[in-house]
């Protein structure tokens, strides 16, 4: 397995990790209410793992923070700024697209199916957004990309296209790509679920270093209970649109309070 | 036998002059048509309703009105509407065929953009790329290999359509062919009409095959450059 | 110069324009019948295992599809009578020439639509028929064609709408369709805006609903075959 160095400090924002505050968030798809008046607070640098049955809407939590879906009701605050609202003359009104884009620059997301850009090399994948969005020069971005890819153990794969990389390598490129934008909050949507079992470890190693640094707010949806109990500050059990229970990993895994949590953990951990 | 199928060099000279005009009309229409295809194809997917609606209106109109009627309308009616005495037939031809091509091309572009996996849009959002950068750097490059095959067929249809400009007095290949036919009456060396038309058809066929070749090469190169997993 | 738009004149020429449109529609409908039948023969010929049949058929289809309809019309209308073939075979009125030309031109397109429809029937259907020991005729009639024909309908529909849009080319050989009538008014009254605009509007009035119908057909076929 490739040696992975700590990804910090060149991957996180100089402003440091940001908090995430979700207040009374409602999201429905037609008749189906997926997020039901959700309240969720994440402290700066905290690592929060969200577990729960499929279809429970846990991915939607991440997607509304990343603005891939828009919320129907409620407020989401990133650091000291509202994501979906602007303050105008002391009032909170619906934010303009420009405002959303600005606040969104502090957030980044890694996907289950990588979503790497297939027509670009690994290095170019990582370089593109810093050049286009942050105005870095080609040289700056290239150097930074090389550094980030080195740190995730892929320094020798700079010119490789995604089609030439394994799943684990693709996901590590995806993580480097997100880090290149110096986010203050990172969202991870089942990032190991699509990988062959022997490739999961290399990705978890990168995530482990990221979590250990304490420098990044991380919200993760995952089935990797081992990782959760090791690295999570808090575990949330999510079902039917609300948080069923939450707490430190030892508490949730060893001593779950709710019946549905017990059943879920029994089904998942018996493999 | 082959001798019977060939025209004399002067006749070929006329035909080739006409062919050159045909090529000019084709290039002009292709340029206009491609611009319209890209602009309208993207506009069809805009988040703003009036942009989507305008694009749809243009597509339905420019497709629904047959190319030939659009051509006649452009050449004979539009100048009057603008208070001018006339319009150069080359311009009318390029406008009519280009706008018509753009309507069909827009649907090809739209379909190709929609077939790029949704995850690519989401990754672009996650990296906070602007809409314009997302389209230019991520979506369009992946759409191009999908656009090219039907676009090649469309271009050949436009080539066939250029023959219509002969009906608005532009001296293209079709026009020169008809001129040779009319000259038959007074000519000292009349050409049998089947032979004449056969030659014309073969010239068009050669042009069509050249277009085919051009697009096949473009397809292969774009697959290599922009090809995905 | 002439005025931009004269409502009185527009209404005056409207009946004749509509009548021209009916002729354009009529020639299209007959062309469709010919294309449907010819297309089927061409498709079968192209699929034939007899090389002396399949190759020339393929070349013919490619030739007709790659060259302008206008020239093909001229070939039928001007060149055929100049040959030594019997008169009844070569000297046709413009209406007949037009639907024959449309039928042949779009028959070649139709053959491709049939071919695509047949080839889109999953290989497994052929294999199942073989394993059930069905006769070739039964396989075609009961298994393949019932699945191939609905899949061929949307592309066929699109080609026939395209045929309708090519029908006004008949004005080049004086077929009194909608375009010819418009040009007649142009030379008689020196007015161009009303005749050509009305021709365009009449065309839209027929082709847009027809295209919408084909799209609905497409959705239904996609729905039913999924």
Is A111 in Cβ contact with B123 (below 8 Å)? Answer: yes
Q: Return the pLDDT at A8.
A: 43
Once rounded to an integer, what is the mean pLDDT over residues A227-247? 90
Rounded to a whole number of angstroms, the distance from the CA of B129 to the nearest CA of chain C is: 34
Which residues make Cβ contacts (< 8 Å) with residue B30, sequence separation at least 6? B98, B101, B155, B158
pLDDT band at C128 (very low <50, low <70, confident <90, very high): confident
User: Nearest CA of chain B to the CA of C55: how many Å?
Assistant: 17
Task: For chains B and C, tell me whether 3 or more CB atom pairs sit within 8 A of each other.
Answer: yes
Top mean pLDDT of A134-143, A222-231, B91-100, C214-223 is at B91-100
The CATH number linked to B21 is 1.10.3720.10
Beta carbons within 10 angstroms of residue C200's beta carbon:
21
What ipTM was assigned to the predicted interfaces of this complex? 0.90
Give me the residue from B64, B162, B181 closest to C203, CB to CB: B64
Domain edges within chain C: 7-224
Decide if B224 touches A, using CB distance below 8 A: no
At residue A88 the predicted structure's pLDDT band, cuts being 50, 70 and 90, is: confident
Give the pLDDT confidence score for residue C192 in this predicted structure.
87
pLDDT digits (tens, 9 = 90+) for C70-90: 999 999 999 888 777 777 777
Q: Mutating which of C169, C179, C196 best tests the B interface, going by the most B Cβ atoms within 10 A?
A: C196
When computed from its CA atoms, the radius of gyration of chain A, rounded to whole angstroms, is 19
Contacts of A132 in chain B (CB under 8 A): 129-130, 133, 137
Q: Under an 8 A CB cutoff, do B142 and A119 touch?
A: yes
DSSP assignment of chain C equals: ---S--HHHHHHHHHHHHHHHHHHHHHHHHHHHHHHHHHHHHHHHHH-S-HHHHHHHHHHHHHHHHS-HHHHHHIIIIIGGGSSS-HHHH---HHHHHHHHHHHHHHHHHHHHHHHHHHTS-HHHHHHHHHTT--HHHIIIIIIHHHHHHHHHHHHHHHHHHHHHHGGGGGGGT--SHHHHHHHHHHHH---HHHHHHHHHHHHHHHHHHHHHHHHHHHHHHHHH-
Question: Smallest CA–CA separation between B64 and chain A, in Å?
Answer: 36
CA angle A181, A183, A184 (to 5 degrees): 165
CATH superfamily, domain C7-224, is: MetI-like (1.10.3720.10)
Which residue of C70, C197, C211 is in closest CB contact with B73?
A: C197
| Chain B contact for A229 (CB, 8 A cutoff) | no
In this prediction, residue A223 carries a pLDDT of 87
- Contact (Cβ atoms closer than 8 angstroms) between residue C179 and residue C168: yes
Give the mean model confidence (pLDDT) for residues B70-82. 91
The phi-psi region of residue A93 (left if phi > 0; otherwise alpha if psi is between -120 and 50; otherwise beta) is beta
CB A76 within 8 A of CB A21: yes
Read off the pLDDT of residues A132-147 as tens digits, 9 standing for 90 and up: 888 899 999 999 999 9
Task: State which residue of chain C sits closest to B167, comparing Cα positions.
Answer: C172
Of the candidates B190, B153, B142, the residue with the CA atom closest to the CA atom of residue B10: B190
Rounded mean pLDDT, A16-44: 93
In this prediction, residue A89 carries a pLDDT of: 77
Question: Which three-class secondary structure string do you get for C115-163?
Answer: HHHHHCCCHHHHHHHHHCCCCHHHHHHHHHHHHHHHHHHHHHHHHHHHH
- Are A84 and A75 in contact, with CB atoms under 8 Å apart? yes
A121 interfacial to chain B (CB closer than 8 Å):
no
C13 has a pLDDT exceeding 60 = yes
Interface touch C4/B164, C-beta < 8 Å: no
CB contact under 8 A, B72 and C2: no
Going by C-alpha positions, the residue among A110, A93, A106, A22 that lies closest to residue A64 is A22
Sheet holding A242-247, edge to edge: A107-110, A185-189, A217-221, A47-51, A234-239, A242-247
Which C residues, 86 through 145, put their C-beta within 8 Å of a C-beta on chain B? none
Residue A5 clears pLDDT 60, i.e. is over it: no
Q: In a 10 Å sphere around its CB, with 0-12 CB exposed, 13-18 middle and 19+ buried, how is residue B189 labelled?
A: exposed
Query: What total number of domains does chain B contain?
Result: 1
Question: Which residues have C-beta within 8 Å of that of residue C99, sequence separation ≥ 6?
Answer: C27, C28, C30, C31, C34
Q: B52 lies in which domain range?
A: 2-226
Confidence of residue C225 (pLDDT cuts 50, 70, 90): low
Q: Which of C55, C63, C113 minimizes the C-alpha distance to B208? A: C63
- Chain A, 137 to 166: residues with Cβ < 8 Å from chain B are 162-163
Given CB atoms, is B137 within the 8 Å cutoff of chain A?
A: yes
pLDDT for residue B190 is more than 80: no
What is the distance in angstroms between the Cα of A242 and the nearest Cα belonging to chain B?
Answer: 25
Whether chain A has a CB inside 8 Å of the CB on B226: the answer is yes
Q: Could you say which of B72, B81, B193 has the minimum Cβ distance to residue C79?
A: B193
Q: Does C186 touch chain B (CB under 8 A)?
A: yes
Question: For position A271, what pLDDT does the model report?
Answer: 59
**Under an 8 A CB cutoff, do B204 and C75 touch?**
no
Q: Give the chain B residue nearest C62 (alpha carbons).
A: B205
Longest dimension (CA), chain C: 78
Confidence of residue A2 (pLDDT cuts 50, 70, 90): very low
C-beta separation of A50 from A60 below 8 A: no
End-to-end CA distance of chain A, in Å?
25
Per cent of chain B over pLDDT 70 is 97
Tell me which residue in B117, B126, B133 faces A132 most closely, judged by beta carbons.
B133
Task: Show which residues on chain B lie within 8 Å of chain C, measured between beta carbons.
Answer: 60-61, 63-70, 72-73, 76-77, 80-81, 83, 85, 156, 159-164, 166-167, 174, 177-178, 181, 192-194, 196-198, 200-201, 204-205, 208-209
Percentage of chain A lying above the pLDDT 70 cut: 94
* pLDDT band, residue A9 (cuts 50/70/90): very low
- pLDDT tens-digit map of A11-29: 566 778 999 999 999 999 9
Q: Given pLDDT bands bounded at 50, 70 and 90, which one contains residue A91?
A: confident
A103: closest chain B residue by CA: B128
Cross-chain CB nearest to B229 (options A107, A118, A128)? A118
Name the residue in chain C with its Cα closest to that of B153: C66
Look at residue A11 in the predicted model and tell me its pLDDT: 59
Quickly state the pLDDT bin for C3 (edges 50, 70, 90).
low
> Nearest residue of B to residue A118 by CA position?
B228
- In this structure, the dihedral spanned by the alpha carbons of residues C68, C73, C78 and C80, taken in order and rounded to 10 degrees, is 100
What is the tens place of the pLDDT at every residue in B130-173? 999 999 999 999 999 999 999 999 999 999 999 999 999 999 99
Average pLDDT of the segment spanning B102-118: 94
**H-helix or E-strand spanning residue B201:** helix B193-226
Residue A111 has its nearest CB partner, among B122, B133, B138, at: B122
Nearest to B64 among C67, C75, C211 (CB): C211
Asked whether the beta carbons of residue B227 and residue A118 sit closer than 8 angstroms, the reply is: yes
Chain B / chain C CB contacts < 8 angstroms = 120
CA distance A47 to chain B (A): 19
pLDDT-derived band at B2, boundaries 50, 70, 90: low
Tokens of C112: 């491709």
Write down the pLDDT at residue B228. Answer: 52
Question: What pLDDT shows up at residue B62?
Answer: 93
The model's pTM is 0.84
CA atoms within 13 A on the CB side of A81: 16
Q: Which residues of B touch C192 (CB under 8 A)?
A: 76-77, 80
Helix (H) or strand (E) holding A22: strand A20-29
Q: In the prediction, which pLDDT does B229 show?
A: 38
Contacts of C68 in chain B (CB under 8 A): 159-164, 174, 204
Is any Cβ of chain B less than 8 angstroms from the Cβ of A112? no
Identify which of A123-137, B31-45, B189-203, C139-153 has the greatest average pLDDT. Answer: B31-45
Which residues are within 8 A (CB) of A59 and not within 5 positions of it... i.e. 6 or more apart?
A189, A190, A221
Q: What subunits touch chain B, counting only 3 or more CB pairs under 8 A?
A: A, C
The single-letter DSSP state of residue A55 is T
Q: Which residues contact C177 (CB under 8 A, 6 or more apart)?
A: C20, C21, C23, C24, C27, C167, C168, C170, C171
The H or E element spanning position A238 is strand A234-239
Q: Does B120 touch chain A (CB under 8 A)?
A: yes
CB contact under 8 A, B120 and A68: no
Q: What token pair was written down for A248? A: 């430190």
Contact list in B for residue C79 (CB cut-off 8 A) is 192-194, 196-197
B38-49 pLDDT per residue, tens: 999 999 999 899
Kindly determine whether residue A118 and residue B129, on different chains, have CB atoms separated by under 8 Å: no
Cβ distance B123 to A117 less than 8 Å, yes or no, reads yes
CA-closest candidate to residue A210, choices A152, A149, A150, A127: A152
């Amino acid at each position: 397995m490739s040696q992975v160095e700590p990804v910090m400090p060149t991957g996180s924002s100089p402003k440091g990790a940001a908090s995430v505050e979700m207040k009374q968030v409602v999201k429905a798809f037609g008749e189906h209410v997926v997020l039901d008046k959700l309240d969720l607070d994440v402290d700066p640098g905290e690592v929060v793992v969200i577990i729960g049955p499929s279809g429970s809407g846990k991915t939607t939590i991440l997607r509304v923070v990343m603005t891939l879906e828009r919320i129907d009701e409620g407020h989401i605050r990133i650091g000291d700024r509202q994501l979906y609202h602007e303050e105008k003359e002391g009032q909170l009104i619906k934010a303009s697209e420009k405002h959303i884009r600005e606040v969104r620059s502090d957030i980044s997301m890694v996907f289950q199916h990588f979503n790497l850009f297939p027509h670009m090399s690994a290095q170019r994948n990582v370089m593109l957004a810093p050049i286009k969005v942050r105005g870095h020069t080609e040289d700056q971005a290239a150097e930074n990309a090389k550094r980030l890819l080195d740190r995730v153990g892929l320094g020798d794969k700079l010119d490789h296209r995604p089609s030439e990389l394994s799943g684990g390598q693709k996901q590590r490129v995806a993580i480097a790509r997100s880090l290149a934008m110096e986010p203050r909050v990172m969202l991870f949507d089942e990032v190991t679920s699509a990988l062959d079992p022997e490739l999961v470890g290399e990705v978890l190693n990168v995530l482990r270093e990221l979590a250990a640094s304490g420098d990044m707010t991380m919200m993760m949806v995952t089935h990797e209970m081992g990782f959760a109990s090791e690295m999570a500050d808090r575990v949330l059990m999510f079902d039917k649109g609300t948080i069923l229970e939450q707490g430190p990993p030892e508490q949730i895994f060893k001593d779950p309070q709710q019946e549905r949590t017990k059943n879920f953990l029994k089904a998942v951990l018996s493999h | 036998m082959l001798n019977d199928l060939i025209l004399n060099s002067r006749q070929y000279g006329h035909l080739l002059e006409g062919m050159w005009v045909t090529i000019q009309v084709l290039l002009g229409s292709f340029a206009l048509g491609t611009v319209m295809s890209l602009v309208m194809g993207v506009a069809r997917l805009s988040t703003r309703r009036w942009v989507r609606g305008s694009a749809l209106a243009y597509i339905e109109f420019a497709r629904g009105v047959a190319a030939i009627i659009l051509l006649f309308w452009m050449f004979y009616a539009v100048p009057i509407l603008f208070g001018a005495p006339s319009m150069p037939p080359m311009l009318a031809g390029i406008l009519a065929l280009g706008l018509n091509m753009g309507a069909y091309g827009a649907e090809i572009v739209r379909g190709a953009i929609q077939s790029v996996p949704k995850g690519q849009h989401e990754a672009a959002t996650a990296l906070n790329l602007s809409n314009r950068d997302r389209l230019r750097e991520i979506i369009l490059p992946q759409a191009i290999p999908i656009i090219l095959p039907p676009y090649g067929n469309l271009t050949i249809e436009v080539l066939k359509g250029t023959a219509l400009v002969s009906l608005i007095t532009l001296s293209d290949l079709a026009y020169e062919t008809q001129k040779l036919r009319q000259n038959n009456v007074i000519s000292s060396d009349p050409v049998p009409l089947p032979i004449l038309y056969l030659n014309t058809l073969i010239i068009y066929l050669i042009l069509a095959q050249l277009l085919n070749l051009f697009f096949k090469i473009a397809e292969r190169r774009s697959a290599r450059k922009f090809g995905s997993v | 110069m002439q005025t931009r738009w004269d409502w009185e004149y527009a209404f005056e020429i409207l009946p004749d324009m509509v009548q021209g449109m009916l002729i354009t529609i009529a020639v299209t409908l007959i062309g469709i019948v010919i294309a449907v039948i010819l297309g089927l023969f061409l498709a079968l010929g192209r699929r034939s295992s007899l090389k002396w049949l399949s190759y020339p058929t393929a070349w013919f289809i490619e030739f007709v599809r790659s060259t302008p309809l206008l020239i093909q019309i001229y070939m039928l209308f001007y060149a055929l009578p100049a040959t030594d073939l019997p008169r009844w075979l070569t000297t046709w009125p413009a209406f007949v020439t037009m639907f024959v030309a449309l039928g042949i031109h779009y028959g070649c397109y139709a053959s491709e639509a049939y071919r695509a429809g047949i080839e889109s029937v999953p290989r497994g259907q052929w294999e199942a028929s073989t394993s059930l020991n069905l006769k070739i005729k039964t396989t075609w009639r009961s298994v393949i064609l019932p699945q191939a024909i609905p899949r061929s309908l949307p592309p066929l529909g699109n080609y026939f709408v395209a045929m309708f849009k090519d029908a006004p080319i008949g004005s080049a050989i004086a077929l009194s369709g909608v375009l010819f009538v418009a040009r007649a008014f142009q030379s008689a009254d020196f007015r161009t805006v009303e005749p050509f605009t009305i021709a365009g509007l009449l065309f839209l009035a027929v082709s847009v609903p027809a295209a919408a119908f084909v799209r609905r057909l497409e959705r239904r076929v996609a729905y039913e075959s999924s």
